[in-house]
């Protein structure tokens, strides 16, 4: 398994990680726990060392799943989790608003340590920037947790470039996690240049466009009401039909390279920068193996240029979040 480093703090992980959210949350009803434990352990056997979860996924049950699955691999697996939400199980998806007050961060850290069955959280992200709490206070609180040995590395999720800079001055940021893929390239404008300048790693989530770039979703796909995509504008039936052009394009590149659309989409990210580690999620072993196959896909400079040129001509339709969640990104 190829390895990559996130940030300057010696955080080394497998070149592809595994996003575990969909095993318990957001993409339909939770999957069978024992099957998901087996899948996570199968990922470890194949060389994956980087696993992504959060307290809000479930809420709580995804951390418990990841903790149980990876307990036999302590010291071998790097677990990233997140704080920053006020959770109320009675509210839809448990998301009752943002909360990054220092006392809340400390509370979440202690609870996550128990659920994950670890002595220290490898990578602790602020899940969304809280406008009510100065980012310096957030970074300072995580710095204290690092000094106490409860956390090893600090991360941010969906933060804007200025916020990243402010946080980094207080406590070095190891990684930023944000959405990035062949159909969402907005981070290239201001975020990625800032990360490169500061020496911060980048962890693209939804590198397969929430499944769309695999080619397994089309205009006729029916989403369960518990599936987050059922309320995402980009996944409306008419937008899926319009956006099919980008999948067709990636599939054509795949045929030339004897690779699947998913493998092309992941190989494209891997070819951008050596400090990017995408975390595709899956609940199926054959998809995990397909994703790992992206590590063997070589895209030349000419391939990348042609992909850029072709995709730049396609106008992707629909916002990537409903309005209430869209307001929380890029702060």
Instruction: Give the side-chain half-sphere CA count within 13 A for 131.
Output: 6
Pairing of strands 85-87, 95-98: antiparallel
Give the largest Cα separation in the chain, rounded: 54
Residues in the chain: 331
Q: How far is CA 242 from CA 238, 239, 263, 303, in A?
A: 6, 5, 22, 24
Mind giving me the DSSP string for 188-223? GTTHHHHHHHHT-EEEEESTTTTTGGGT---TT---
Nearest to 1 by CA among 277, 304, 285: 277
Q: Annotated catalytic, 57?
A: yes
Tokens 């959060």 belong to residue: 54
Task: Name the phi and psi angles at 11, rounded to 5.
Answer: -90, 100
CB 65 within 8 A of CB 36: yes
Partnered with residue 4 across adjacent β-strands are 13
Mind giving me the DSSP string for 23-86? GTSSBSSPPPHHHHHHHHHHHHHTT--EEE--TTTTTTHHHHHHHHHHGGGTTT-EEEEEE-EE
CB 199 within 8 A of CB 7: yes
Angle (nearest 5°) at CA 269 between 79 and 165 = 65
Q: How far apart are CA 181 and CA 184, in angstroms?
A: 5
CB 62 within 8 A of CB 25: yes
Residues marked as catalytic: 57
């Amino acid at each position: 398994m190829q390895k990559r480093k996130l940030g300057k703090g010696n955080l080394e992980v497998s070149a592809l990680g595994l996003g575990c959210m969909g095993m318990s949350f957001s993409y339909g009803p939770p999957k069978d726990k024992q099957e998901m434990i087996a899948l996570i352990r199968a990922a470890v056997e194949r060389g994956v060392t980087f696993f992504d979860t959060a307290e809000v996924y479930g809420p709580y049950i995804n951390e418990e799943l990841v903790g149980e699955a990876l307990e036999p691999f302590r010291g071998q697996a790097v677990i990233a989790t997140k704080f920053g939400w006020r959770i109320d199980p009675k509210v839809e998806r448990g998301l009752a608003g943002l909360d990054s007050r220092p006392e809340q961060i400390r509370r979440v850290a202690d609870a996550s340590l128990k659920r994950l069955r670890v002595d220290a959280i490898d990578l602790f992200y602020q899940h969304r920037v809280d406008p009510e709490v100065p980012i310096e206070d957030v970074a300072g609180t995580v710095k204290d947790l690092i000094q106490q040995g409860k956390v090893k590395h600090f991360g941010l999720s969906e933060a804007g470039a200025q916020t990243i800079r402010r946080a980094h001055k207080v406590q070095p940021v190891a990684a930023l996690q944000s959405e990035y893929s062949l159909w969402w390239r907005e981070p290239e404008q201001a975020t990625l240049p800032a990360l490169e300048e500061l020496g911060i790693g980048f962890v693209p989530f939804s590198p397969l466009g929430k499944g769309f770039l695999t080619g397994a979703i089309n205009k006729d796909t029916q989403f369960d009401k518990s599936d987050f995509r059922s309320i995402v504008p980009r996944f409306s039936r008419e937008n899926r039909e319009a956006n099919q052009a980008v999948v067709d394009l990636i599939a054509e590149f795949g045929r030339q390279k004897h690779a699947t659309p998913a493998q092309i989409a992941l190989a494209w990210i891997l070819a951008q920068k050596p400090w990017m580690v995408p975390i595709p999620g899956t609940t199926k072993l054959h998809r995990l193996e397909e994703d790992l196959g992206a590590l063997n896909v070589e895209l030349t400079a000419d391939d990348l240029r042609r992909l850029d040129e072709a995709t730049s001509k396609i106008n992707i339709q629909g916002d990537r979040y409903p309005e209430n969640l869209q307001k929380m990104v890029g702060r």
